[in-house]
């Protein structure tokens, strides 16, 4: 359930920063819980604004909004409501789906012939810093209920004919009545005779014994796009639990964990690095080698560089949709701790004072 942040704020995709701000203020005013407003709507507006008001997050959202499950302001680290806890709420969403998904439609006697969707599955995926910058194809192993390959989930041996299940009249579901403290509750459960398929094969599939499912490890290859960040989640549709031929498969969520690289610090599409240079290099200028995610790259140090100066390396940052950002090199001028006799003499002759 990807969220449309633009719709939440009621603005156009081309809305300016000011228009977004204005729209949010209006909604915040309207829905503020302290003023008796709708807290849920307030949260939603806030979440949308956190993303759309931040250049980097907005870019990311514009690019990945549909891929990264919107369940997440939390897809964007720190982008959540009030800056914390959002990731947990998010996970709550996911786990809610995981454990509730298959059951919800079977309850309350709706028209569905069976539980419609398998459970969602979440998998942790580790990425190196470099992989997060450039994107990578990852092999993911998930152990879960898969649709049986031999019978394609029908539960029948290939080629045999199927007859309507008498147990459920082909519905796949049966209504049962359970006594609870609230009175009799109706629940619809999958028919045991046909495993919810509504049909019974002449001969059961020998691999799955007619269940249409095969529990086991499935390997798939997933493209992680460039520019992802630690904590982001990617939804892979239809790669969650299967519940046989009639139902829809659950989704697979990849929860990304990006390793720290002590050389690099990232902020949106920028990468920050520190570079130590000597006293003389700073004063006279030089050409030095600097670590980038592309390997070592030469950088010109202008004469008269100060400690703390920031030098820009164009296009050595992270791509977040519109070409790569820049790398910012923070220069640290190192003052020698020990001087030889000759060096000392030369320094004294220079007599550099402010």
What is the contact surface with Zn ion in residues (CB under 5 A)? Answer: 148, 150-151, 165, 167-168, 191, 193-194, 205, 207-208
Question: How many CB atoms neighbour CB 104 within 10 A?
Answer: 15
- In angstroms, what is the minimal distance from the CB of 175 to Zn ion? 12
Torsion sign, CA atoms 275, 280, 281, 283: positive
> Tokens at residue 196, please?
């919810």
- In angstroms, what is the minimal distance from the CB of 27 to Zn ion? 49
- In angstroms, what is the minimal distance from the CB of 152 to Zn ion? 8
- Is the CB of 152 or the CB of 297 nearer to Zn ion? 152
- Is the CB of 101 or the CB of 156 nearer to Zn ion? 156
Cα distance from N-terminal residue to C-terminal residue, the chain: 62
- Is the CB of 56 or the CB of 197 nearer to Zn ion? 197
- Is the CB of 140 or the CB of 162 nearer to Zn ion? 162
Under a CB-based contact definition with an 8 Å cutoff, are residues 239 and 220 in contact?
Answer: yes
H or E stretch at 9: helix 5-9
Please state whether beta strands 233-236 and 252-258 pair in parallel, antiparallel, or not at all (unpaired). antiparallel
- In angstroms, what is the minimal distance from the CB of 179 to Zn ion? 24
- In angstroms, what is the minimal distance from the CB of 148 to Zn ion? 3
- Is the CB of 4 or the CB of 169 nearer to Zn ion? 169
CA 87, 88, 93 angle in degrees (round to 5)?
Answer: 95
- In angstroms, what is the minimal distance from the CB of 236 to Zn ion? 24
Q: Write the DSSP string, 181-223.
A: TTEEEEEEEE-TTTTTSSEEESSB-TTTTTSSEEEEEEEEEEE
- Is the CB of 126 or the CB of 166 nearer to Zn ion? 166
Q: Which residues of 237-309 form beta strands (DSSP E)?
A: 252-258, 265-267, 270-278, 286-292, 295-301
């Amino acid at each position: 359930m990807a969220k449309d942040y633009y719709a939440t704020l009621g603005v156009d995709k081309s809305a300016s920063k000011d228009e977004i701000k204005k729209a949010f203020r209006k909604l915040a005013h309207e829905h503020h819980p302290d003023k008796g407003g709708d807290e849920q709507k307030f949260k939603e507006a806030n979440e949308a604004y956190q993303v759309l008001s931040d250049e980097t997050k907005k870019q990311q959202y514009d690019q990945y909004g549909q891929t990264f499950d919107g369940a997440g302001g939390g897809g964007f680290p720190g982008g959540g409501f009030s800056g914390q806890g959002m990731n947990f709420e998010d996970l709550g969403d996911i786990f809610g789906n995981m454990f509730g998904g298959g059951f919800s439609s079977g309850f309350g006697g709706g028209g569905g012939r069976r539980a419609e969707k398998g459970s969602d599955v979440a998998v942790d995926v580790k990425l190196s810093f470099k992989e997060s910058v450039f994107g990578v194809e990852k092999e993911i192993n998930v152990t879960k209920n898969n649709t049986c390959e031999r019978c394609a989930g029908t539960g029948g041996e290939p080629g045999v004919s199927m007859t309507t299940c008498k147990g459920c009249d082909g519905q796949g579901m049966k209504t049962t009545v359970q006594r609870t403290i609230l009175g009799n509750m109706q629940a619809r459960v999958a028919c045991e005779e046909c495993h919810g398929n509504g049909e019974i094969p002449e001969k059961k599939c020998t691999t799955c014994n007619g269940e249409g499912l095969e529990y086991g490890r499935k390997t798939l290859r997933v493209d992680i796009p460039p520019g992802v960040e630690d904590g982001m989640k990617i939804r892979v549709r239809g790669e969650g639990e299967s519940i046989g031929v009639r139902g829809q498969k659950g989704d697979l969520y990849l929860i990304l964990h990006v390793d720290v690289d002590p050389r690099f610090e990232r902020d949106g599409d920028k990468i920050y690095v520190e570079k130590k240079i000597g006293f003389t290099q700073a004063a006279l200028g030089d050409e030095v080698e600097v670590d980038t995610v592309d390997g070592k790259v030469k950088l010109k140090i202008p004469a008269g560089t100060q400690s703390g100066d920031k030098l820009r390396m164009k296009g050595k940052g992270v791509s977040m949709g519109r070409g790569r950002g820049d790398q910012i090199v923070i220069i640290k001028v190192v003052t020698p701790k020990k001087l030889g006799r000759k060096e000392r003499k030369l320094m004294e002759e220079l007599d550099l004072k402010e």
